[in-house]
Amino acid sequence: MIRVISLTLSRGTPLQNLLLFLPHRSEFFMPGMVDTHIHASQYSYAGTALDMPLMQWLCTYTFPVESRFKDLEFAQRVYTKVVKRTLRNGTTTACYHATIHTDATLLLGQIANDLGQRALVGKVCMDRNNPAKYYKETCQESQEETCRFIAELLDKKYPLVKPVVTPRFAPTCTGALLGQLGAIAKNNNLHIQSHISENAEEIKLVKDLFPESKSYTDVYHKHNLLTDKTVMAHGCHLTDEELTLFRETGTSLSHCPNSNISLCSGVLNVRNVLNHKVKLGLGTDVAGGYSASILDALRRALDSSKILTIQDPGHETLTFEEAFRIATLGGSQALSLDDQTGNFEVGKDFDALRVNVTAPGGPIDLIQSDGPKVALNLFNHIYSQMNKSDDRNIVEVFVAGRKVVPFTEPKPE
């Protein structure tokens, strides 16, 4: 395993420890990107089925597809493709939701390990699903299968793949299950992931299901699911009081701007989240988000911030440097993995992308380069090349010092 032992960076740059330029000025190393929220099981229909709001979308598209993952052959095909695609897109760390199927979720962990991706993998837990009764577990089944999943995945001793306790979200979990999952996470010192305050209909449903709780956040808090190893996706409609509780408990938020807009859920005020000093990363939220690229999420985060500025000219728009940090170091902090990855600080694992702005056959025509920031902005098309850079510019991907992209095909026997 290779770790960063030394590096030279331009002094004074706000991206210090986030870029390492190569002798050829159109190439540089950047830290690997971190996807703090992605549904691996939904990759098979990414880019389609975005014609209805969240709750109807889940019942119409998501639950029928996820129920197919009891078929391990189907799971193998989809999970191999999503891990390969995210690696090609520069995602060196991913926090995956799978399905309720334990064996298929273990398979996802194996695939991530074999392909060299750093990953948190979660078996989805849900014991309440009235609109789709065919896709749920009993409370006891969910608890027992979660414990089996955790034990078997940890027994594999994968160096970069770990389990994450995964209640789908409060609308599909009883209080009894939420409490059991909180205890399991605490007793095993595990990460936790779920969803929160994604859209207005969902929030109303949670209020009806948990009338004793003061807020959506309070539901999770009462069941010991808000910890410094918890990441909650979306949070578009969190109140200041809820964000304060996030900060006090160390809970992180995953900003999923593509999905938030695609499903008309809401627009997260990232500036307010940062002002509350809540840890924040980016998520693709496939398939609510149609792209499996954190580079896309970075752009959509900037667009969403500009929408808020259009609505309120006094809003402080997210800067490119802030968005870049959220996509890398911010994501590692949100997943409590920043002691291992996220930037090029000495001693961390070398999770990195070698980017060639002028890669042959790539989408960018480099006209001029006045220094590091211009080159990086061209990669993300903040200037004249906006919305053109893609995985063709990512020529190599390294995770913990191992080159994982381009993929090495097995030699024929």
Domain ranges of the chain: 33-335
* pLDDT mean over 127-136: 91
* pLDDT at position 8: 38
pLDDT of res. 367: 66
Q: pLDDT (tens digit, 9 = 90+) per residue, 40-83?
A: 999 999 988 899 999 999 999 999 999 999 999 999 999 999 99
The reported pLDDT for the residue numbered 29 is: 87
Q: With left for phi above 0 and alpha for psi between -120 and 50, is residue 355 left, alpha or beta?
A: beta
Q: Write down the pTM of the prediction.
A: 0.93
Chain position carrying tokens 């997260």: 268
What are 18's two structure tokens?
Answer: 């986030």
Comparison of pLDDT for 350 and 374, the residue scoring more: 350
Per-residue pLDDT tens over the stretch 216-237: 999 999 999 999 999 999 999 9
Strand partners, 397: 353, 405
DSSP 297-361: HHHHHHHHHHHHHHH-TTS-PPPHHHHHHIIIIIHHHHTT-TTTSSS--TTSB--EEEEETT-TT
Output the CA torsion sign for 363, 367, 370, 374: negative
**Residue 253, pLDDT above cutoff 70:** yes
H-helix or E-strand spanning residue 54: helix 54-57
> Which of these CATH numbers, 2.40.50.140, 3.20.20.140, 3.30.930.10, 3.40.50.1000, describes 33-335?
3.20.20.140
Pairing, β 161-167 against β 191-196: parallel
Quick one: tokens of 327?
Answer: 């996509």
CA distances from 271 to 80, 176, 335 (A): 36, 35, 20
Tokens of residue 202, six digits: 């969902």
Residue with tokens 């200037």: 383
Q: How far apart, in whole angstroms, are the C-alpha atoms of residue 286 and residue 146?
A: 23
Mean pLDDT of the chain: 90
What is the C-alpha separation between 307 and 288, in angstroms, rounded? 20
